[in-house]
A and B are shown apart, each in its own frame.
Chain A
Amino acid sequence: MSDRLPGEEYRAGRSSGERTDGPELPLPDDAGPIPRVPRDASYWAAPVQRLGAVSDAARSRGLEGKRLMGPQQGFGQLWQRNYRVPLPGVDLSAAQVVGEWKARFGEFWPSGGSFHAPLAGIAPGELAALDVGVGQLVLLSTGVFVLYADETSFTFMTPQGHMFTAWITFAAEEDGGTRTAEVSMLLRAADPVAEVAYLLGAARMEDRFWIATLTNLAAALGAERRPVVTRITCVDRRRQWRRWTNLRHNGGPRTLIHGFRAPRG
């Protein structure tokens, strides 16, 4: 029986006194066991300070050089928004549902917007450009960073210039024998202008957008039609006034220009 400690199996033979046929790897005498690789290691994006080399689609939306913004970096009230739809009649595993969702993400978006998936697909560290129609005239152009992706869920994080500072998670699971699909987000409006817009109607637009997305997903997977259940909680009513300076990253002016210039679709 091996007397090696758990986690030591990847070390070269020198410290265990065994001879190896290949060249011996130099190891300091006091090298301890190599730490175990965390189970979630491949699911998270590598650390980034600023968005670096981006696609043309992302560059045209001003995403190059932007920082990522979590809910704690935003200005407005902190909201937890959950949208959940059962998928009765769908004979796919949760991983298969999420696999379809990742592969065809843009297809499920409501009309009036477009999602430009990264070439490598929805995978940790990838950046996607997107446009969301607001009424008939305005097209919000921005992007999302794939923060996390495993077999049954994936999470986007917003960059500077996005209306929200948010983590948005898409997941599937089994609930009492029925598959369910869910979109859940933790978000703040990025700046005071976005907060006003949120209170004046952007929140309702969020509801319509994600309910339509889940309805489209359910239909595409062949599920019997069921209503989307919405749960909205204000986690923090306080606004983070010191974050008003996020205004300088507000993508509104550039978005409007891009929206008027760029063809939709």
Chain B
Amino acid sequence: MSVTQLETSVRHTDRDVAVIDLKGDVTAASEAALMDAYREASRDEPRGIALNFSDLDYMNSGGIGLLVTLLVRAKRAHQQVTAFGLSDHYRQIFELTRIDEVIGVHPDERHALDAARLGARVR
């Protein structure tokens, strides 16, 4: 099975929310790339982080584990984490693993950003 690297980029949309764009494979081997992106996204201490899965090619159980680790870090920093761009397949995996109960899944970026801002505000 060929495994490609995870590429990430970070967008600071405003003071409240940062977006992490994920492209490629999310596996246990993606830890450094994902956590580096999280650190970069958290640089200005945003209240919310939105994960963009539009270009996700592959994810295994190690990748899901990484998302839980990221979520713990975000909770520690009082940040709301949301997700968007999930295909039906990955949305089902979020449901199966019940990670959708702790990361809000949204149909598009606008809703994900709004939810991240709102979640941060009501905390």
Docked-complex contact B1 and A152, CB < 8 angstroms: yes
Residue count of chain B within 8 Å CB distance of chain A: 28
Inter-chain residue pair count (beta carbon < 8 A): 77
Q: Report the contact-size class of chain A (Cβ under 8 Å from the partner).
A: 20 to 34
Instruction: Tell me if A68 counts as interface (CB < 8 A to partner B).
Output: yes
Q: Within the complex, what minimum Cβ distance (angstroms) separates A4 from chain B?
A: 21
Docked-complex contact A169 and B62, CB < 8 angstroms: yes
Q: Which of A13-21, A22-30, A70-78, A223-231 contacts B (4 or more CB under 8 A)?
A: A70-78
Residues of B within 8 A of A69 (CB): 98
Q: How long is the Cα–Cα vector from A43 to B1 in the complex, in angstroms?
A: 12
Instruction: Tell me if B5 counts as interface (CB < 8 A to partner A).
Output: no
Could you give, for residues 125-154 of chain A, a 1 whenever the CB lies within 8 Å of some chain B CB and a 0 otherwise? 000000000000000000000011011110
Interface residues of A in 26-51 (CB under 8 A from B): 35, 38-41, 43-48
Instruction: Tell me if B77 counts as interface (CB < 8 A to partner A).
Output: no
Q: How long is the Cα–Cα vector from A157 to B61 in the complex, in angstroms?
A: 10
Q: How long is the Cα–Cα vector from A186 to B101 in the complex, in angstroms?
A: 17
Docked-complex contact B72 and A235, CB < 8 angstroms: yes
Docked-complex contact A153 and B98, CB < 8 angstroms: no
Instruction: Tell me if A155 counts as interface (CB < 8 A to partner B).
Output: yes
Closest 10 CB pairs of A and B: A155-B61, A148-B61, A236-B72, A70-B98, A72-B102, A47-B96, A47-B92, A39-B58, A186-B65, A38-B89
What are 21 A-B contacts defined by CB distance under 8 Å? A35-B87, A39-B57, A39-B58, A40-B60, A43-B60, A46-B92, A46-B96, A47-B96, A69-B98, A70-B97, A70-B98, A72-B98, A72-B102, A73-B101, A150-B60, A153-B61, A153-B62, A169-B62, A186-B69, A235-B69, A236-B72
Binding site for A on B (CB under 8 A): 1, 28, 57-62, 64-65, 68-69, 71-72, 75-76, 87, 89-90, 92-93, 95-99, 101-102
